[in-house]
Amino acid sequence: MRLLKESAQTAPAVSLILLDWSVRESFHLLHYLRNQDVPREVFEVIVIEYYGRVSEAIKPFANEVDTWVLLQMPEGCYYHKHLMYNVGIVLSRGEICVICDSDAMVKPGFIRAIIEEFKQQPNLVLHLDQFRNGRRNLYPFNYPTFDEVIGDGCTNCIDGKTTGILDEHDPIHTRNYGACMCARRTDLIAIGGADEHIDYMGHICGPYEMTFRLVNAGNQERWHPTEFMFHTWHPGQAGKDNHLGPHDGRHLSTTALEALYTFRTLPLVENEAVARLRTAPESDPAVLRDTLIAPGRIQDWRRDLVEGGRGATQLDSEHWRPIEYSGFLIEQERQERYRSRSLTSFSLQGAGWQGERAGALDDSLSQAMRRIDRFVPFGVRILAGLVAALVSAGQLTAHARTWLLRRVAPGR
């Protein structure tokens, strides 16, 4: 790991964590950070490069960067965003960590809006949604106005708000969970930081897996109703030809969803430096830096293993991991469609879960979950989730789980 620049700030309110893995063509967010309506000492900017490239796109804005680090991972090691998140969390000095797109536009009140939300609700995990414009004539980025971005070519604007903010049906897919996520640094450390499990290597997942575990730990998830980010089209913006870990067919990580419904708070694979901070907050910064990158990660994330199919695999019906949800197992079948079956011996005929309804194919994982939510009584779903959490912790056998569920809905 090589530090090109280290922050001189001691106690900023906000630490912005920006990522690159030798792919970013533009860091124009740094231009908009110059125009914030709060004093510059209120926030710091941390840029983390996964490999060893000193980005030419950053150089025009070098004065806006407080900490600039090159992880110097080998070229043969596939990128893992969650490692970069953890580096940012450990190196950050702000009270609030903000993980967001580096090639997006923000208005002058961006930083202030984030700080004000945490003043009102300290126990928070905050997201900002993002307007997205698909016009090709805005590439390379040519500094359009905000009105231009939400005008012709914008794919998700309704009356000045994103379609995701207005969506009450399937917000988990229509809101951009990866655009901007904000949480207190102490809260992120308390849940073990970002999960470095191999399922999250490459394009899937993003900061929302920490959101789900923060919610499990008692934080309130909130989406800012009036502050947004703005993004214009560029090649490869959807992760073309990238490795994809397990997802639900719509690029939502099923491993992250698994954490959400089992109430898990700690990561499957915890970064050693974050673990040290969690258990010993006064750890020596030099030791933390030395333990940020575990040697085994380089071997586990080798590109030849990924591309050769011996490591984590691209999503298909053979490798997709079935997940438990509220006492049901959701399995992927043909053409990325999903079928649910009960994990217990009782039936829920009284709730309408019978016949074709029980065996129907759903178009997405979230649709299958909504089917269960609709036809399974609320009390059963709550108990099933609690029991599943106990089982995942090794405190209940599968037989005991089935017995408890049958006590709630015997022979229905």
Contact 183, 97 (CB under 8 A): yes
| 3-class SS string, 363-389 | CCHHHHHHHHHHHCCHHHHHHHHHHHH
Q: Any bridge partners for residue 253, and if so which? A: 247
For the cut 60, the answer to whether the pLDDT of residue 286 exceeds it is yes
pLDDT tens string 330-339: 766 555 566 6
- Position 78 scores a pLDDT of 94
What is the CB neighbour count within 10 angstroms for residue 283?
A: 16
Containing H/E element for 69? Answer: strand 67-70
In terms of pLDDT, which residue wins out, 201 or 366?
201
Let me know: does 17 contact 97? Beta carbons within 8 Å: yes
Q: Is the pLDDT of residue 287 over 80?
A: yes
Query: Residues in the chain, how many?
Result: 412
Predicted confidence at residue 306, as pLDDT, reads 74
Residue 230 has pLDDT above 60, yes or no: yes
pLDDT score of 320 more than 80 = no
7 band by pLDDT with thresholds 50, 70 and 90 = very high
Per-residue HEC secondary structure of 288-335 comes to HHHCCCCHHHHHHCEHHHHHCCCCCCCCCCCCCCCEEECCEEEEECHH
Domain ranges within the chain, ordered by starting residue = 2-296, 323-408
What is the rounded distance in angstroms from the CA atom of residue 179 to the CA atom of residue 176?
A: 6
Q: What is the pLDDT of residue 180?
A: 98
* Cα torsion 230, 315, 74, 292: sign: positive
Per-range mean pLDDT, top range of 110-114, 280-284, 291-295: 110-114
Which position has the higher pLDDT, 399 or 279?
A: 279
Mean pLDDT of the chain: 83
pLDDT bin (cut points 50, 70, 90) of residue 209 is: very high
User: pLDDT confidence of 344, banded at 50, 70, 90?
Assistant: very low
pLDDT for 349: 38
| Sign of the CA dihedral with 260 first, then 263, 268, and 269 last | positive
Q: Is 328 within 8 Å of 340 (Cβ atoms)?
A: yes
Provide the pLDDT for residue 170. Answer: 86
Q: What is the pLDDT of residues 231-252, one digit of tens each?
A: 999 987 655 457 888 887 788 8
Residue 174 has pLDDT above 50, yes or no: yes
With respect to CATH, is domain 2-296 assigned 3.90.550.10?
Answer: yes
Average pLDDT on 176-190 reads 97
- For 120-173, the pLDDT digits (tens) are 998 999 999 999 999 999 999 999 999 999 999 999 999 999 999 999 888 988
- 249 to 236, 246, 254, 334, 361: CA distances (angstroms): 19, 9, 9, 12, 14
For residues 92 and 61, the answer to whether their CB atoms sit within 8 Å is: no
User: What's this model's pTM, rounded to 2 decimal places?
Assistant: 0.78
Task: Find out whether 194 and 271 touch, Cβ atoms under 8 Å.
Answer: yes
pLDDT at 336: 56
pLDDT at position 323 over 70 = no
28-37, 262-271, 345-354, 394-403 — most confident range: 28-37
- What gap in Å lies between CA 55 and CA 49, rounded to an integer? 8
Rounded mean pLDDT, 67-95: 97
- Which one is predicted more confidently, 114 or 256? 114
96-100 and 124-127: which strand pairing?
unpaired
CA-to-CA separations, 92 to 17, 68, 185, 195, in angstroms, rounded? 8, 11, 8, 18
Instruction: Specify whether the CB–CB gap between 300 and 328 falls below 8 A.
Output: no
Rounded CA-CA distance 378/331 in Å is 22
